[in-house]
Structures are given as C-alpha cells and as structure tokens.
Structure 1
C-alpha cells in the first residue's frame, strides 16, 4: 500500500514563537493541512482534503475572522486535487475521502472530488450536515458539501487496535485502513498499515508535536486556540494521554502525527521514519 503525505493548505498566522514554539513573535508562523493519499485495490483514498479550489476562488466563505486569524496562503497548487493531478492521476480516481472531521480546513476539498464517497463519524455528520445534534456556532462551512456527496458513517464499535477501537473503513476490501474514534476535538483518527509500520493520522486530537512528549508542552497561542475549539475538554485530554501512551509503548510499530503541525508533517514527508513512499508536495 503506497502512501504519500500532502500539505493541502498552508496557514501563516502572526506570532511564530507562540504558534510554532520557535522564532520571533513578530514572524509569521507556519501551519499545514496534513493529508494522506493512499493507493488501494479500490482506487485512490484521500485522508482529509484541506482547503479546496472553491475556497480559494471565494475566500470569504471560509469566514472573514478565520481568514484574518490564520492567513491561509490560498495557493491552487497546494490543493489536494491539483497535487493528485500533478502525480499523473485524475480526480475521478480518488474513490474515497476519509475525513477526521468536517472543519473548514479539513473538508474544503470535498467538492473537488464530486464522485468520491465521503467517510465520517456519525456524530460529526449529525452535527455538521444533518443538524440533528447541536454544533458550535460557525464551525462548519456547509457550502463544502452542497453538491450532496455520497456519505458513509462510522460509530464507536470495532476491533481492538493498540488499545483503541478501530472500524475497518473500507471493509474487508482494505482491512489495513481503520477509522479510530477520538472524541473531544477531532472526532476520528485514520490508521493505515504500510509494509514497515502503522501510520495514525490523529486529526486535531492534538495540535503540537510537544504534546506527545512525556512532559507535554504547548505554545501559548496554539494552546488558547485548542481550548476554544474543544467540544469535550476532558475527553480531549484523555485521548491525548492515550496517544502519548501509544507513542511511548508502540513507537516502533506506529507513527503518530496530527493535522497542522509542520514538524510532524516534515518528519513524515522527508521519510525520517522510513515507512512511506513520498512525494515532493508543498
């Protein structure tokens, strides 16, 4: 199973030291939208979609406050669809979109793959799409799925995976791709088994690589943003502890990374773990 790491959206908020933990508070920080492109027996699978072409064509739909605070680069070449095409594939070859959750910087590329099945946690769908459960005000951009894609839903059940519960995302066709519920902030992680080890895309379950250390640390502004985004703070903290334990006890078998940390992204993209086939994506 071939896996590529893509950055489908760079964000450059002011205050690098308080966001990235290095540099000056007067410099621009760097955050990414870390996605995976997976070659499977059932076509291409994209884990998260980042910022999409429609977002770039109409930035106000992302929300003026969000755009002002995050200062996204809005480069069409960074979109997942343009990177897929640059690799020699067509957008139609992407058959499945596995989303950690439906926030604007994770779901923006959904309409760029209109024929792909969109896989999400059921509770996330109920909040963002069906609106049958209460959702934080202004969290979702419903235009990102106004074309009414085909949805697939997942719950809390499944088989044991390193102490977590994992549901086979594509059934028995691809038993080595699992949906891992991680409630609290990001609703799901996506686990993918390569020849060497498992990869766990933990979505927004944590924001900063230092949170996975034995003595967790977090830059000030990033920590404030994480707390504002909390849906269940106690559950988010509990899942972060579970992820730290996973990394400490099974780091040789599982590589854990999140959606927005450039350190996590570069470690994976540059092959420091030696477990994936890589592309020179932005």
Structure 2
C-alpha cells in the first residue's frame, strides 16, 4: 500500500493504468497492456523471481487486459493496435494475449529492450511470439503543444507518439484526440499527480522508485518540467495520465473518464 502525502486520500495500491479505445475504423486500440496471462500463471519464470519479490504484483487473471476486454464483449482479435510507452516488464506483459495486434513503440526502446533482455527491466518472454512491430524514430517535423510528435502509422484515428525521455532509452507518451480535447498517457514520465502540478511535490516512495529506474536523471526531470508547463498552459485541453498513480485513476473514474 502507498500512503498519500496529503489529507483527503486513502492508502492505495499502485496500478497499471491501461486505456482501451473503440475507434470507428481501426478496431480496438489498447494503450499499454500491464501484466498478462503468462505472467499470472508462471510469474517466477516469465517475470523473474527477483522482480516478483520486489514488486509484489497482484497476480490475478481477472486483472489482465485480455480478461477486461472480454468482459466488455470483445475478443483478442478485436484489438488491432497496441501502443506502448515503453517495454518495461509491467507495461508489455500482456502482448502475448493479443498476438495479431500491431505493436507501436519508439524504435530506440525496442532496440534497448532487445539488446538488454533478459534483465530486471526487460523480459524476452513478452515478445517471444514475434509481435507485428511498428517502430517510430524520435525525430519528426510534427509538433504537439510544443512537443515532438509522431503520427500513428496505418491508422485513421488521431493518435500520436510523443517522446518523453529519461525513464528508459525510448520512453514515450501516447496522445489521443477525444473530440476537442486530448488524453496523454505519460507512462512512467511521472509517478504521482503532484509531480506535474505547478506547485509540484514528489512522493517519497514513488520518487525513490522512479529515480532508481531512470536512465537519464536530468532528462527525466526536464520531461516533468515540460509536462508541468503543458498542464499550466493547456490543462483545459489536455488530460495527463500516469501509469501507476492510483489516486489519479480514482479521480478520472469519478469524473467519468
């Protein structure tokens, strides 16, 4: 359990916040997968016993993305595209549950994961089935609220890959247009909602976790500073989502998001 840093919130478990989009012409689009069925059924082999012991994940089949998709009346085949902020162990474990989906990720992240796996961070079992990868270079002439942006390949839906560096070699956010507004899934660019408030405050435990996991400290802090500017200047147009903040998820659910 994680304790909040101010009154009004109850202790909560960290989450793996995934988004499921139902599009007009591109089928279902899943942003992040969280852990998958293989992880739940054989965690010490697929995830690694050291990671399981440290993270103490909730290993429930009903929590996996595939089971939640099925509860909504869909099947794995309906998920045609998966966008990943990065390939950390807890963000892509569900890939084998959607074997026919195109998997969108920054090229630098895929290269780093393939070079370093198996490691505490990357587990090759998550892509041993040979996903249909769609890789993106970080350079682009497109711009999104001052950020570099890569438009999703092969989709008519307005989905963008936004490099948000510092956490991993090819960490990105995924921006989705919803009418006149945007949602930006920031992955692990921040862990706690107060980190992207103008009067920002870190969470002692979550800050320790993200600091020990970062690949570039100054770049990560710079990314968070830019996200704060985004909230300050365009908070009425863009909703930020962290992968792991339980209180942020509760607030979004209460607001019907």
Instruction: Answer whether TM exceeds 0.5 for this pair.
Output: yes
Counterpart for residue 258 of structure 1: 242
SS in 1 for 2:176: strand
RMSD: 1.9
Q: Alignment partner for residue 100 of structure 2, among 105, 111, 115?
A: 115
Deviates more, 1:148-157 or 1:66-75: 66-75
Residue of structure 2 in register with 1:33 after alignment: 16
Structure 2: runs of 5+ lacking an equivalent: none
Structure 1, unaligned runs of 5 or more: 1-11, 277-282
Give distance in 1, aligned partners of 2:132 and 2:204: 40
Q: Does the CA-based 8 Å contact 1:155-1:181 persist in structure 2?
A: no
Alignment match of 1:95 (pick from 50, 65, 80): 80
Deviation at 1:29, TM superposition (A): 4.3
Query: 1:132-153 deviations in whole A, cap 9, x for unaligned?
Result: xx67942101101101111000
Structure 1 residue 215: Cα displacement: 2.4
Residue 47 of structure 2 corresponds to residue 62 of structure 1: yes
Structure 2 Cα separation of the partners of residues 94 and 227 of structure 1 = 33
1:192 and 1:247 map into 2 onto residues whose CA distance is 16
The TM-score normalised by the length of structure 2 is: 0.91
1:212 aligned onto 2:161 = no
CA contact (8 A) 2:83 2:103 kept: yes
Whether 1:48 and 2:32 are equivalent positions in the alignment is yes
Number of the residue aligned with 1:182: 164
TM-score of the two chains, using structure 1 as the length reference: 0.84
Asked if structure 1 preserves the Cα contact closer than 8 Å seen for 2:145 and 2:230, the reply is: yes
User: For residues 237 and 124 of structure 1, do their structure 2 counterparts lie closer, same or farther at Cα, with a shift above 3 Å needed?
Assistant: same
Which among 222, 242, 252 is matched to residue 238 of structure 1?
222
Superposed structure 1 runs of 4+ greater than 6 Å apart? none
Q: How does 1:134-149 map onto structure 2 within 5 Å?
A: 137-149=119-131
The residue number in structure 2 matching 1:161 is 144
The residue aligned with 1:126 is 111
Structure 2: distance between partners of 1:110 and 1:248: 35
Counterpart CA distance in 2 for 1:55 and 1:172 is 30
Number of the residue aligned with 1:201: 185
